[in-house]
Amino acid sequence: MKDNIILIGFMGTGKTTISHELSKLTGYKEIDTDQYVEEKEGLSIPDLFSKHGEEYFRDLETKALTDLQNINHIIISCGGGIVLRDKNVELLKCKGQIVLLTALPETILERVKENQDRPILRNNMNLPFIEELMNKRKDKYLSVADIIIETDNKDITAIAKEILSKVNFTLPSQFTTTNSQENLP
């Protein structure tokens, strides 16, 4: 098992935000799979979806995970749908400890409602759609996760420290404390 922390979960659960905090606490480099794909392709995720479709984007996610296989001591923040492909799950399981971040549907909607960069939610920015999509993905997320962390109404630093207390490897150096006052809604 490699000493990496992989964050999965539905959009809006705080993966990118928590990845930043974990990176600060551990000194590990953070890699966001969506950002990685955007940089490699020179297109935003919404543009990739509209020009090439979801399947093409999912292929790029698989390629990104393959590219990252030999890199160690990293925090990987994954796109919400990355676990939908069995190949991606295999690659993630080989890469490190998988942490599922969760939040209530109402919290998700509150966090993402102003964000136009979520192609899956385009024209579906409503609670019933979010609940339905979360329910469709729930079993897959749970089957992949090594650790499950609830993020509703928790301090970002507290969430990161909770993750670090549960990972099953020794960090190269003792993580430090920061006084982040930022909270996830």
pLDDT over 50 (residue 179) = no
User: Does 80 count as an annotated binding residue?
Assistant: yes
User: Does 85 count as an annotated binding residue?
Assistant: no
pTM for the full predicted model: 0.87
| CATH code linked to domain 5-166 | 3.40.50.300
What is the 3 state secondary structure string of the chain? CCCCEEEECCCCCCHHHHHHHHHHHHCCEEEEHHHHHHHHHCCCHHHHHHHHCHHHHHHHHHHHHHHCCCCCCEEEECCCCHHHCHHHHHHHHHHCEEEEEECCHHHHHHHHCCCCCCHHHCCCCCHHHHHHHHHHHHHHHHHHCCEEEECCCCEHHHHHHHHHHHCCCCCCCCCCCCCCCCECC
User: Does 137 count as an annotated binding residue?
Assistant: yes
Q: What is the pLDDT of residues 35-60, one digit of tens each?
A: 999 999 999 988 998 899 989 999 99
Q: What is the pLDDT of residues 2-29, one digit of tens each?
A: 789 999 999 999 999 999 999 999 999 9
Which pLDDT score is estimated for 168? 76
Q: Where are the domains of the chain?
A: 5-166
User: Does 176 count as an annotated binding residue?
Assistant: no
